[in-house]
Amino acid sequence: MTSLKRSLKNLYLDISVTMSSLLVMTLTFFSIAVFLIFGFYTHFAIKHLEQSPQIFVYFTDNATEEYVLEVKSQLEKAVQISEVRYTSKEQALETYVESNKDNPLLLESISANIFPASLDIKASNISYFDEIITNLEVVENIESIDFQEVVIERLKDISNKSRIIGVSLITLLIVMSFLNTLLTVGMTIRAQKREIEIMKLVGATNWFIIKPYLAQGILYAVISSFIVGLLLFISFPFMLPQIESFFTGVPIPTLGDLFQSLGIVLGGVSAGLERIILLLILTFLIFIVGLIVALFGSLVAVSKYLRI
C-alpha cells in the first residue's frame, strides 16, 4: 500500500476527527488570509498618511521668493525629507478663491499680499519628524511652523502597534494550526500504535513509517488551503466595499503598488485581473505556510514513536 493510500485510509478511518481538523485549519488559515488582506491595505494607508504633507512652514513678508526657493533647495538635499512643495502668495490666493468661490463676501478686498509664501514638507520617515522641526527653528524669516503634533504622534503609535499586533496574531494562528496538526496526527498514531510496533519489529525503516503521516499532513494543508482559496474568491467582492469604506479618503492600493514596494515593476493590468492575481498569490502563501506547519506538526507527532 502506497503512502498516499495509507494516508487517505487514515483520513477515512475517523472521518469526524478529519472533518473537525480540516474545519479548524480552514478557519485558522482563512483568518490569517483576512488579516493579511487587511494588513496589506493598512500598510499602504499608513504609508499614504506618512507621506502626506506633515509640516507647513510660513515665511514673513521680508522673505523674497528667491530666498524661499533657496531654503526649499537646501531642504530637498536632506535625507530626512522626501518632498518639499513651494506655494507662492499668488498660488495661496488662487487656492483661497477656489475654496471660497461660493462665498463672495469672503473674497472682497482680498489680495495676494495678505497670504504668506509657504513650504509643505513631507518626511521620508515619520521618525525624522522631530529632527526636521528642530532644523527649521533656526531658519531665518520663518513666521510660523504648523504641524499636527497629536496626529503625528498618533500615527507613530498606530504604525508601531499595527506591526506588533499583526506579527503577534499571525504567530498565534500559526501556533494554533501547528497544535491542531500535532493533535490530529498524534491521535491517528496512537490509534495505530500496535501497527507501528509490528512494523518496527519486522524491520520497517523510520522513513517507511513516517511517510503516511507526512502525506496526511500534506493532505490537510492542500485541502484546507484549497477551501480557503474558494472562500477568498467568494467573500472578497463583499469584503472590498467594507475595506474601502473603512479607509475612506485613502487611495486603495493596487497589486502594482505591492510589487513596486518590492522593487518589481508590473505592467498595466485590469482591476479584476489584479484582484484574481492577488487572491491567487495569497492562496499560494497560505498553502506554503500550511504545508510547513503540517509537515512540522506531523514530524513532531510521529518522532516519539520511532523510539519504540
Residue spans of the domains in the chain: they are 3-49+155-307, 55-147
Q: CA–CA separation, 255 vs 274, rounded Å?
A: 6
Produce one character per residue of 4-19: b if its CB has 16 or more CB atoms within 10 Å, e if not.
eebbbebbeeeeebbe
Q: What is the pLDDT of residue 37?
A: 79
pLDDT of residue 11: 64
Residue 96, all three cell numbers: 483661497
pLDDT < 50 stretches in the chain: 308
pLDDT of residue 156: 64
Q: How confident is the model at residue 52, as a pLDDT?
A: 63
Max CA pair span of the chain = 103
CA distance 253 to 43: 10
Residue range 203-254, pLDDT digits in tens:
777 777 777 777 877 888 888 888 988 998 888 888 877 777 766 666 666 6
Question: According to the model, what pLDDT value does residue 6 have?
Answer: 66
What's the pLDDT at 81? 85
Long-range contacts at 243-248 (CB < 8 A, ≥ 24 apart): 243/37, 243/38, 243/41, 247/41, 247/45
Q: Domain 55-147's class?
A: alpha beta
Per-residue three-class SS string for 211-267 = HHHHHHHHHHHHHHHHHHHHHHHHHHHHHHHHHHHHCCCCCCCCHHHHHHHCCCCCC
As to burial, measured by CB atoms within 10 angstroms (0-12 exposed, 13-18 middle, 19+ buried), residue 73 is exposed
Question: What's residue 302's pLDDT?
Answer: 75
> C-alpha cell of 45?
494607508
Q: What is the pTM of this model?
A: 0.62
